[in-house]
Amino acid sequence: MDNIKLDIYDGFCCIADRCEFTCCAGWDISIDEDTCKNWRDMEQQSRYFSSNIKTQKNKREKVYYIKMGQQKRCPFLNEKELCNVVIHYGDDKLPFTCRTYPRQVNLFSDHQEFSLSCGCPSVVDLIYHNPRNVQLVHEKYINAEDIKENETFMRQAMILLIKERSLSFKDRILLIFHMLFSMKEQQGNPKDIIYKYQDEEYVVSLIRLWSGIKINYEDTATEKSELFLDIVQNYRNEISYSRYLTDIVDIAEKLDENESKKAWDEFQTEFNRYDMLMENCIITKIFANCISEDMDELIMSYQMIITELVMVKYSVFLTSKIRPFHYSDVRDYVALYSRIIGYNTEGMIEFWEESFEEPLWQFGYMLLLIS
């Protein structure tokens, strides 16, 4: 079977106890059945393992998780932020999730793909220090974008558009969204639709269309603020996230949007130096997550990616109201929202349904959100 992977994939190395954003706390950690059986078969330590397993029923199947302790920390994580399972029994006794994270594998009929999750700050560091666009490497063809005839041609079109630096970052994001809805609503050969978005004249006509729509700063600022507060309300008091959210939530709740236009413009100019990082994070997320052949699911995957981007930028802006921001702030918020949003598909769909009565955005909302 052929393999496609991110060119940074082999460069990842877990920094273990040196990581300030441990993946062993703050969320549920699943246990695969093989690991669960293996733990229960280890007679001498059976109570140690079995007492830390919880079971849930999911669609008539039993699903196993690690029973998280105080502050939602893994009970196997010691005071030095190291894993006792690894120390005493070795890596091979870890659940599959723990052995592989933040590595991500997607299996297709004729190939498999290897990606990395931006929920790990070390992955964000890899992306940030990469001197060029993240590339997809194929065993046979070197450049995976040369492969046109597979299940993921739509995703390839998305990646090619986000790399098109002759266009503004905002226009690239909007073009992808517009293309996805064209694919959903129009009949005919999907590739003919994609080719339209590679036609310069057609692209320019679309950009002119939405460039003529006036968006008030107060409207887009209010929408970002409300979205931010809605998304973080269930996380601001969690130990794993409170250090990143408490202060900026206080700022957001008191922010006078009428007085912050100048501050946002100054911030925007300063944040532009991270556009390459944001672009590469989007490429990484599209490669890993935009794989469904169902257009609704594909559009929602993209909406989640853009929601993460908006929340990262807005959170760094709020941070800048407290103190000068640095790369480490951008990195930590990329990792944080990759976890809060990226691993909460059902929750986000429910949130959109409650907000808009359906989970798919209108184009005008996307325009308002990223203006």
Which pLDDT does position 104 carry in this prediction?
92
Q: What is the pLDDT of residues 171-228, one digit of tens each?
A: 999 999 999 999 998 866 778 888 999 999 999 999 999 999 998 888 999 999 999 9
Q: Domains of the chain: which residue ranges?
A: 24-99, 122-211, 217-370
Whole-number average pLDDT of the chain:
88
Which pLDDT does position 45 carry in this prediction?
55
DSSP-assigned letter for residue 335 = H
**C-beta contacts of 98-101 below 8 A and 24+ residues apart:** 98/24, 98/29, 101/23
Which pLDDT does position 40 carry in this prediction?
77
Structure tokens at 182: 């064209």
Residue 27 confidence class, pLDDT cut points 50, 70, 90: confident
Most confident by average pLDDT, 39-43, 186-190, 257-261, 266-270: 266-270
The helix (H) or strand (E) run that includes residue 65 is strand 61-66
Gap between the Cα atoms of 194 and 211, Å rounded: 22
Q: What is the pLDDT of residues 51-90, one digit of tens each?
A: 888 888 776 778 888 888 777 889 888 888 889 889 988 8
The helix (H) or strand (E) run that includes residue 66 is strand 61-66
pTM, two decimal places? 0.90
Which pLDDT does position 116 carry in this prediction?
96
Closest CA to 198 of 229, 218, 172: 172
